[in-house]
Amino acid sequence: MSPIPTRPRGMYFDEFQPGFQIITAGRTITESDIVRFAGLSGDYNQIHVDAEYSKASLAGQRVAHGLLILSVASGLAVQTGMMEGTVIYFREISEWKFVKPVMIGDTIHAVVEVKEIKEMRRIGAGSVTLELDVKNQHNETVNRGFWNVLVALRPS
């Protein structure tokens, strides 16, 4: 018996239209997240891992790695399902800004908006530019920028 083919959960290229917006779920950043990211990346900068050192910093406490927040935002965007099984490649990050620090205990979410689309029929995909606005629990922007992904065309 052959398995029944299923449609990927994600959106095909033709379903992305400029102005389409989705808001991700939230995720609270923990001390464990910061410690694990330091171990994974090798970035043991004191502002991230040394509570005593960080007390005298501008933030007054440990700050999450900017790249950790970018990575968590990526996971939150994928968890919406809109890219699951239809994104072929993550092509580019541009104009990414680390606007405000994220502290242990902050909860972030992302507002993802389609900014531009370009069909690339020759390769069976389309280019989708997404603007991400990563916000904390106070609805303040903490990171923002653009991602470009290659998305599959709908099978004929």
pLDDT (0 to 100) of residue 8:
73
Give yes or no for residue 149 having a pLDDT over 80: yes
Task: Identify which of 97, 142, 106 has the alpha carbon closest to the alpha carbon of residue 26.
Answer: 106
Helix (H) / strand (E) element for 16: namely none
Give yes or no for residue 115 having a pLDDT over 70: yes
The model's confidence at residue 155, banded by pLDDT at 50, 70 and 90, is confident
What's the number of CA atoms in the CB half-sphere (13 Å) around residue 156?
3
pTM as predicted: 0.91
pLDDT in tens, 51-108: 999 999 999 999 999 999 999 999 999 999 999 999 999 999 999 999 999 999 999 9
Class of the CATH-defined domain 13-152: alpha beta
pLDDT in tens, 31-50: 999 999 999 999 999 999 99
Residue 35, CA distances (Å) to 17, 60, 114 in order: 39, 18, 33
The CA dihedral of 144, 154, 152, 70, to the nearest 10 degrees, is: 20
Give yes or no for residue 1 having a pLDDT over 80: no
The domain limits of the chain are 13-152
